[in-house]
Amino acid sequence: MEYQELLIEVGVLVLLALIFWQDYRHRAIHIALPIGIFVLGAYQFYLRGYEVKMAGYSLLFLLLTLGGGYLYIRIRNTAATDLLEMIGLGDILFLAAVIPFFSPSNFILFFISGLLFSIVVFTAIPTLRKTALVPLAGLLALYMLGIRVFQICWESDVFYAKLSVL
């Protein structure tokens, strides 16, 4: 691993840990944390020479998912409901910030498996349920932290690896 890559990895791991801790403690994250994640991810994306359209596909998926969720909430609740009442701005910013770290198919996989991970962890660990608010950005950061540590230890690129069926 090159020096720049190592610095990026350490920076990302520290920021992910801070996001988890801050969201767990306060059910909110500082805006500088997802911005820092995005800057490091975009720089790594650039260093590796990935095509910008790959990040665009992931952003499109995220926007369609959020738009679909908003429509579902509007149809289900007759009263006008703000999307930010259902999902925090920090959660949306975190999901957008991690886009440069994934290929489009792996971002979709991270999104779905990360939400499942968050549901399981939130329901299984009573200390997380001190309020009705789910620390989604924090739990997704913890999940991504685990994936990145796995990637570093086993020297595999699970974020851009091609997905295949057995």
Tens of pLDDT, residues 91-105: 999 999 999 999 899
Tens digit of each residue's pLDDT (9 = 90 or more) over 23-42: 999 989 999 999 999 999 99
The answer to whether 19 and 137 are in contact (CB under 8 A) is yes
How many C-beta atoms lie closer than 10 Å to residue 96's C-beta? 17
Closest CA to 9 of 28, 37, 49: 37
User: pTM to 2 decimals?
Assistant: 0.89
> Would the pLDDT of 164 be above 60?
no
User: Rounded to 5 degrees, what angle do the CA atoms 11, 146, 51 make?
Assistant: 60
> What six digits make up the tokens of 82?
């703000």
If you average pLDDT over residues 96-122, what whole number do you get? 94
Q: For residues 20 and 130, what is the distance between their CA atoms, to the nearest angstrom? A: 15
pLDDT given for residue 100 in this prediction: 95
Q: For residues 22 and 9, what is the distance between their CA atoms, to the nearest angstrom? A: 20
List the domain boundaries for the chain.
3-154
